[in-house]
Structure 1
Amino acid sequence: MKQNILITGGAGFIGSNLADKLLELSHNVIVIDNLSSGSKKNLDKRIKFYKMDICDAKIVKVFAKENIDIVFHLAAQINVRDSVKDPIADAKTNILGSLNILENCRNFNVKKVIFSSSGGTIYGDAKIIPTSENSPEIPESPYGIAKLSVEKYLNYYFKSFGLNFVVLRLANVYGPRQNPKGEAGVVAIFTDKMLAKKEVVINGSGGQTRDYVFVDDVVLACKMAMESSKTGIFNVGTGVETDVNFIFSEIKKSTNSECKEIHGPENIGELQRSCLDFSKIKTTFSWQPKYDFKSGLAKTINWFKKKI
């Protein structure tokens, strides 16, 4: 059934890949994005685009006009370090901006909200790895605290107003269209720099691990969450830890780079290990990652090469 689907942050990396999939499924796609990190170049001409911040009170006009069925809420201040420097600015966007979206969802009878949360920050320094949704939620940054806050608000809106929701706690997403100028996308940063024959600096020892999930697998999880009648919180990851030194060596090989392995100071307070258990989403939605790191990386590097 054709639906009117709003993606906040839809001009960004994950949002624009999701928008393409929804168009392929013949849905009407509406995007709200302030273009702080996204780009209109990422958007198909069939998409209805509003340049707008999620904190803007005028968002009510979009909801009033577009008769929205489903909302994918991806728009956020995404820089963990910026959240540490200015937690008030982070909360204004990531908590108050999200509430602005949720209030409009409630007032205009949106059927479901799918929220992109952060599996990499929600659990903090987890004792059990891979980490399941039952693990303690101990975020160690204002960014992670804000994401967890929105999850709690979603539960409130569900219990109080019947607004259905799915929270997807994403691992470290990588793939085509990731912004190499950001702070979180190590795959994009290293690939961009090596192809440009620039120096790459690894923070700390490079032994710190993350769970890297390819963007097409994340888009598939979003699609399944939308089409399911289930409500709840689900990890989206691969269950595999990959360290930064391995990423460096793989990208170096794939790009034929001659750059040297240089290590800089470690980021203070950076988690040493993070990896998600995806058993719950596999059982509930029959989702599992189709791409291992090497196959996802090959597609990512090919995209960056074409962009040069």
Structure 2
Amino acid sequence: MHKTEILIIGATGSTGLYLTDYLSNKNYNIVATGFKERNSDYFKNKGINYLQLDISKKESFKKIPKNNFNCVVLLAGMMPARMSGYNPYKYIDINITGTLNVLEYCRENNINKIIFALSHSDVAGYWNTGIYIKDDVVRKPILKGDHAAYIISKIAAADLTEYYHQEYGIQNIIFRMPTIYCYWPDDTMYVNGLKTKMAYLTFIEKAQRGETIEIWGDPTIKKDIVYIKDFIQLIEKAILNPTAHGIYNVGSGTPISLEEQIKGIVEAFGKPGKKSPIIYRPDKPSQISYLYDITKAKKELGYKVKYPYKIMLEDMKKEMNNPMFKIIMNNND
């Protein structure tokens, strides 16, 4: 039986590794790429062909083997959460020029499908409104702050995929992604160029130690919380769908309040007899609220949420013992 050939560009990040691991365990042949020579032991153990690729340099694509790829999944990109300091040129070079190079590689090698990851910051102007944001809404980015140049570059990159669809017939599927939740051994990110800890992973650590957790602002404000394994099933459905096109919201269908988030974490990760006390801090700023209409993904891709919030937390607990992460942590720079 012929196996589906998939090129995953950006396979060393959290989404890329979860996706690579999932697809390699099914009926797919994978070629994985990353910007750095890291996690090579993991890919070697899985029997996955891995190579370094700098998408901002067209000549770098000559390294890729001449497989008959059915689809390219483009997850690589520069984002604020991974940028120390501030260098907007990286957004242009990697997110725009890099995407153009990927699309040219697809055109030149007769690869007729690309799946593209778009930040949901392209609709940030609709956040905190209580409105369910639709897939085809007019974009409304916020053009100030550390995400401005970033989202400009991602919108331009997404539009390039649509251009290549209209001009060359390459099927483009764009996933508008909020934060994708998962267990990940590195709990840090960058905000305004400064390293900080991810909030939800910090809450989990506090719950494991039985420490006090604060709920800031309005505890009833809700947002979409999407688990990595639900996003991965969406990607697989997109790989297999011959007609899907355009932007698809990635969402949960059931937004969760901050109070529900914290109480769920305390219940799932707290030790019996040593549950974290919860303190309400209405004097602090509230969390951002974003709500996504996922009707299109349900109708056209057959998407069904398999990991609602509490099930997600229980699965994250299991993932903490996944041997994949021991290999990753021993093989990172």
Partner deviation per Cα, 1:151-198 (whole Å, 9 max, x = no partner): 111110111112111111123211244742235954334324544678
Asked if the contact 2:217/2:287 (under 8 Å) is kept, the reply is no
Partner deviation per Cα, 1:92-143 (whole Å, 9 max, x = no partner): 2222222221121111111210111123x12113156221112221122333
Aligned with 1:226 (options 235, 239, 243): 239
- Where in structure 1 are there 5+ consecutive unaligned residues? none
Residue of structure 2 in register with 1:122 after alignment:
122
Q: Which amino acid in the other structure matches residue 253 of structure 2?
A: G
Write the distance in 1 (CA, Å) between the matches of 2:125 and 2:26. Answer: 39
Residue of structure 2 in register with 1:272 after alignment:
288
> Cα 1:42–1:147, aligned 2, differ >3 Å: closer, same or farther?
farther
Aligned with 2:319 (options 282, 303, 306): 303
Aligned with 1:247 (options 261, 270, 273): 261
Alpha-carbon offset, residue 200 of structure 1: 6.6
The TM-score, its normalising length taken from structure 2, stands at 0.78
Please identify the structure whose Cα radius of gyration is greater. 2
Map 1:64-79 onto structure 2 (within 5 A).
65-79=66-80
Q: Which amino acid in the other structure matches residue 266 of structure 2?
A: K
Q: Which amino acid in the other structure matches residue 57 of structure 2?
A: D
Write the distance in 2 (CA, Å) between the matches of 1:156 and 1:265. Answer: 47
Write the distance in 2 (CA, Å) between the matches of 1:258 and 1:272. Answer: 24
- Where in structure 2 are there 5+ consecutive unaligned residues? 191-196, 327-333
Alpha-carbon offset, residue 67 of structure 1: 4.0
Write the distance in 1 (CA, Å) between the matches of 2:207 and 2:42. Answer: 23
Asked if the contact 2:53/2:61 (under 8 Å) is kept, the reply is no
Partner deviation per Cα, 1:15-60 (whole Å, 9 max, x = no partner): 1221122223322101111249x74465452111112332233332
Aligned with 1:160 (options 157, 167, 190): 167
Residue of structure 2 in register with 1:285 after alignment:
301
Of 126-135 and 39-48, deviating more is 39-48
Alpha-carbon offset, residue 78 of structure 1: 3.0
> Cα 1:158–1:275, aligned 2, differ >3 Å: closer, same or farther?
same
**CA-based RMSD:** 3.3
Identical-residue share of aligned pairs (%): 23
Alpha-carbon offset, residue 305 of structure 1: 5.7
The TM-score, its normalising length taken from structure 1, stands at 0.84
Residue of structure 1 in register with 2:194 after alignment:
none
Map 1:58-69 onto structure 2 (within 5 A).
58-63=59-64, 65-69=66-70
Q: Which amino acid in the other structure matches residue 133 of structure 1?
A: D
Of 1-10 and 81-90, deviating more is 81-90
